[in-house]
Chain A
Amino acid sequence: MGRDEDSVLELHAETPTLSAPFKMFQNLREYRHLLRHFISRDLKTRYHGSIIGWGWSIAEPLALTVTFYILFAILSDSTDPYRPFNILIGILAWTFFARTLSRGTTALQRNSGLIQRIYFPREIFIFSQVGFQLVQLLLSMIVLIPLLYHYDLIPTADILYFPLAILMMGMLAVGLAFFTSIIQTKVRDMEHIVTVALRIGFYLTPVFYNLDMITSSRIPAEYSDIYLYANPMATYLTMIRSAFTGAPLGISSSQLVVTISSTVLIFLLGSIFFMRRERKAVKNL
């Protein structure tokens, strides 16, 4: 790990383009201990000095779930047998995505002290965010267990949708954060743009409602197609729900393929952008 006596560091003016994603994974492997350290640092300091500690990472989603549940009981007559479960898991998964993106956006800026002291691949900061948020997600998903038990939901092969959807959500958030974190070093408006976009996204994505409320609504079918392409998070959240409840996805496999490929493309383009711009960007810190 790190660098030893005989390793030679060579820095050129040229930046990688097509090799950028590979270079990135090579760096991640080489600096995996540092990645682990950053994640555990964040976990240690997140709830430092608070009494309930980890409880806060589930208190907010639980409070929101109760709120939306009551709201739906009053406003809507659609019947979803698993509603509390679907709302809660939607909020938890969305939080994973939103926090990764928003904290990833400011990652370079927040760590400027370290960046200006010693060289290591700066993408570590973005990846440590997604790692940290993933641990948080898995920890808070413990509260789902009583609900699963209550609804008698026994995991089937559908459960495989869950890791796939989480992987894709992580790639999407990291891919976007590759762009936003670099822009943030130069233009501090970026974090506010991200905050607003995530707030809007929270309502336009089936976070506290199900996808069929959009697809089987007054919206014509061709528009709901466009909606699914434009908002990959809608697909991933629905995949996560189906993984546990076994409900049909309601998304065609061709739509799935397009959505997943677009996310992978965003990730790859983001990694190239990041690797090419990062060295200019750190001078702005």
Chain B
Amino acid sequence: MTDIAIQLEGVSLDYPKHKSGGGLLREVLTGRFRKTRDEAAWHRAVNNLDLTVNCGEVVGIMGPNGSGKSTLLRVIGGIYAPDEGTVRTRGRITLLAGVGTGFNRDLTGRENIMLTGSIFGFGHKEMTEMSPSIIDFSGIENFIDEPLRTYSSGMRARLGFSIVSHMEPNILLLDEVMSVGDHDFRKRSRARIEEMVRGDATVVIVSHSVNLMRELCDRVYYLEGGQFKTDGDKESTIKQYQSDKEGD
């Protein structure tokens, strides 16, 4: 798979309908829920999906709420392992979704940069070289040596986006392109995303924005009930999305 960045073969994923608290201890201990799929407790969020994305391609995924878009991104990102089928990805993956979490409140902004970097697999030296540019982009250099709990949520989001966007991923997974910070920062982050999308990275975007899809993507799929309803053709997918929306 020299040119293939992402390959999904017959991938299915079950997701619990009720999160923690609803389960029986016995169920966990015996693993009963693994063998007999309890229809009441699990629903199939991604259903027997095949997808091949070549290196450098930009693929969009549209669909109604709850159609499995975000779950699919997490499957590609390796956060959820498939319950059936195989997922193969090549290179460093970054999932951009709801930035800001995963930080430590008691560490300073600078320390959080180092920590996040190490989670993404960067060494101490690489991160030391990278952090001035991260701090610069985030625009919060005055607060960078303060603990994170003193930050406003906007500052946290800016730092989060700035770190993640510097991780130079080979595969970039974008969930609902973010709108964080003030107008100026939104513009810069939008530009940065487009720069990444147009660069070498392989990108999968989940969004409701028709303009964004039309502008950036090579292929767009329509996802509903965990399955692709279109073959990836941009215009027909957008048409289906728009007609579905009107039908609501």
Contacts and interface: CB of A to CB of B under 8 A. Distances in A.
A binds B: yes
Interface of A: 1-13, 33-34, 37, 41, 44-45, 48-49, 113-120, 182-183, 185-189, 277, 279-280, 282-285
B243 interface: no
13 contacts: A1-B121, A1-B123, A3-B93, A8-B89, A10-B88, A12-B85, A118-B79, A119-B78, A119-B93, A185-B20, A188-B20, A189-B25, A284-B23
B20 A187 contact: yes
Given A1-B123, A277-B31, A49 B106 contact: yes
Given A3-B121, A8-B88, 16 more contacts: A5-B90, A5-B91, A7-B90, A8-B1, A11-B86, A13-B82, A34-B121, A113-B101, A114-B119, A117-B79, A117-B97, A186-B28, A277-B31, A280-B33, A280-B34, A285-B20
B177 interface: no
* 8 tightest A-B CB contacts, nearest first: A2-B121, A119-B78, A113-B101, A279-B81, A45-B106, A37-B118, A113-B102, A114-B102
Interface of B: 1, 15-16, 19-21, 23-25, 27-29, 31, 33-34, 74, 77-95, 97, 101-104, 106-107, 111, 114-115, 118-124, 147, 170
Given A183-B28, A187-B28, A280-B34, A13 B95 contact: no
A283 B23 CA distance: 13
A69 B180 CA distance: 59
Interface centre among B21, B25, B87, B118 (most CB of A within 10 A): B118
Nearest to A182: B28
A185 B19 CA distance: 9
Contacts of A115: 79
B21 A188 contact: yes
Contacts of B28: 182-183, 186-187, 277
A279 B74 CA distance: 12
A20 to B, nearest CB: 14
Given A45-B104, A49-B106, A183-B29, A11 B81 contact: yes
